[in-house]
Amino acid sequence: AQSVTQPDIHITVSEGASLELRCNYSYGATPYLFWYVQSPGQGLQLLLKYFSGDTLVQGIKGFEAEFKRSQSSFNLRKPSVHWSDAAEYFCVISTGTASKLTFGTGTRLQVTL
């Protein structure tokens, strides 16, 4: 069975600083990977996804993620964080079959001014 680990429960960064949120997965083949963001009291918004091809994926709001097969990782990055990026971020794995999404437990990002 597949699994996703987000080792950081909570991260605080200053506005303008760079950000990296970690995600590690376990799956026997190449997975489909997603990052979603959940603002307080809101639903989940898709930031970016990786299915195949270029391992550096660009998303919305200036986010990017890099798929590293050798490290079983899919870390999310942003060069300069804005206060509006404060939210909870979920790394998600899919094995490609309908309904088989597995969510990480989330990383809560706090941005200080």
CB of 54 to another protein, least distance (A): 15
**22 lies in the site for another protein, by CB under 8 A:** no
For strands 107-112 and 10-14, give the pairing: parallel
Does an H or E element contain 36, and which? strand 32-38
Interface with another protein (CB under 8 A), residue from 36, 67, 74, 89: 36
Q: Six-digit token pair at 46?
A: 């898709």
What's at 95, amino acid-wise? T
Name which position in 49, 62, 66, 75 contacts another protein (CB under 8 A).
49
- Looking at 31, 65, 90, 109, which residue binds another protein (CB under 8 A)? 90
Burial of 37 (0-12, 13-18, 19+ CB in 10 A): buried
Query: What is the spatial distance between Cα 42 and Cα 106, in angstroms, rounded to a whole number?
Result: 15
Establish if 27 lies at the interface with another protein (CB under 8 A): no
26 binds another protein (CB under 8 A): no
Residues within the interface to another protein (CB under 8 A):
9, 32, 34, 36, 42-46, 49, 51, 90, 94, 96, 98-99, 101, 103-106
